[in-house]
Amino acid sequence: MAFPLPWTCVLVGCFSASLAGAYNFSDLYPPLWEKSPGQLSDYRVENGKYLIDPWIYSERLGMYKILVNKTASYFENIVASNEQNIFWGLPLQHGWQYRTGRLADPRGRKGCGYESGDHLCISVDSWWADMNYFLSALPFLAAVDSGIMGISSDQVMLLPPPKDQTNFCLNVSSCQSSFPEIMSKWNAFYQHLQDPSSSFEDLLKYFWAAHVSTLEYASKIFEDRLEYYSKPEANFGRNWVVAVKYLAAALFPTTLVRTYEFQKGLPPRMLVNGDRAPFIHDFTDFQNMVLLVLSFLGRVDNSPGNSLDQQTTMLTETIPEQNDSPFLHVENDGLIRQLLYVSSKSYNLRIAFLWCNLTTCRGEHLVLVATTCGNYGMRS
């Protein structure tokens, strides 16, 4: 049995879980979802404009909630229920950032984002928060511009952060002038969302194109923010940007259930010096595995000839289901040996690695293919 490339299992050796079980959807929502604004009228209004403070967790979360609500009818026409709305990935990711302390001031000043201070505060010094700003403000304001919100494009204003205001756009017109290419991609997505002939796969393509464009641009602006973090956390942030490109290439469906299960593999806290996957004692085997694979992808992306943008083809391999060994072939590389150690312990995974030495590969293919996902995957 082999997996074709588009499955997310290619990224992490069964990142996503089997979806056979029943869910109480409200249990999957991000923190404070029910208490966050659900319509524009829940925000303050001044001079005919809705004022939103995206540096307060619940107010930024409300922007996502409104997006999910306002796009519900379009997705229900395609996939029958709003749980299949691909906008769910954004608020769930934002909720994970909040829950794990990644929106707080990374230098611990002024109590922003901490339980001992203002726990709803989002710090402008947080790399995660600044990256997420672009993935909240731009899709939200592009939705306003597209007409989905039912208001004119000049009726929403986002409040600026306490510093570095020039890095952020605050309304439709300033986002269009500052980031025209990104806004154009989000507008293209909304155009296709409103087109009755668009398929779910069409929407995923345009959604991920806008998402990746947004993330890549923001990562260039806020690279210096990573200096505030431990080396393991900074590397994880960089590797996460790389991993998103793989998710985009796979057209991973960022629906409610799949994103919720996907995030079970993400670090449950900030990484600190001394954390080294797969030996982080307070992480699950699955979380250790995911972190290690992200590190692996980061190495691939930083090596000549091996970035995702330079790869035009990826291979798949087949492992018989009864094969005693989970690996077809492993070269003598420390990182791969560690992956073997983790995957042989957890979730009954069978994973095939074709490994070429990154110093001599020179454009040949490096492949990570999950072939049996056990309890944590989707079978083809």
Q: For the segment 16-41, what is each residue's pLDDT rounded down to a tens digit?
A: 443 445 678 889 999 999 999 999 99
pLDDT at 249: 87
| pTM assigned to the model | 0.81
pLDDT at 286: 85
Residue 255 has, within 13 A of its CA and on its CB side, a CA count of 21
pLDDT at 23: 78
End-to-end CA distance of the chain, in Å? 8
pLDDT confidence bin for 180, thresholds 50/70/90 = very high
Closest listed residue to residue 78, CA positions, set 249, 260, 202: 202
The size of the chain, in residues, is 380
- Average pLDDT of the residues of the chain: 80
Beta strands at 367-372 and 49-52: parallel, antiparallel or unpaired: unpaired
pLDDT digits (tens, 9 = 90+) for 319-374: 223 333 333 333 334 444 444 444 444 333 333 333 333 223 333 333 333 332 33
Using an 8 Å Cβ cutoff, are 113 and 104 in contact? yes
If DSSP codes are grouped into helix, strand and coil, which group holds residue 228?
Answer: helix
Residue 125 has, within 13 A of its CA and on its CB side, a CA count of 14
pLDDT at 132: 98
pLDDT digits (tens, 9 = 90+) for 113-133: 998 889 999 999 999 999 999
If DSSP codes are grouped into helix, strand and coil, which group holds residue 137?
Answer: helix
For 46, list phi and psi in degrees, rounded to 5: -140, 130
pLDDT digits (tens, 9 = 90+) for 255-311: 999 999 989 999 999 999 999 988 999 999 889 888 988 888 888 777 665 544 444
Tell me how far apart the alpha carbons of residues 270 and 236 are, in angstroms, rounded to a whole number. Answer: 10
CA distances from 202 to 91, 189, 294 (A): 22, 9, 27
For 311, list phi and psi in degrees, rounded to 5: -90, 125
What is the longest distance spanned by two Cα atoms in the chain?
A: 69
Q: Name the token pair of 330.
A: 């492993």
Using an 8 Å Cβ cutoff, are 121 and 56 in contact? yes
CA distances from 169 to 54, 138, 189 (A): 12, 8, 20
β-sheet bridge partners, residue 156? 50
Tell me how far apart the alpha carbons of residues 92 and 269 are, in angstroms, rounded to a whole number. Answer: 15
pLDDT digits (tens, 9 = 90+) for 56-97: 999 999 999 999 999 999 998 888 789 999 999 999 999 999
Tell me how far apart the alpha carbons of residues 292 and 278 are, in angstroms, rounded to a whole number. Answer: 6
Q: Name the token pair of 155.
A: 């009726």
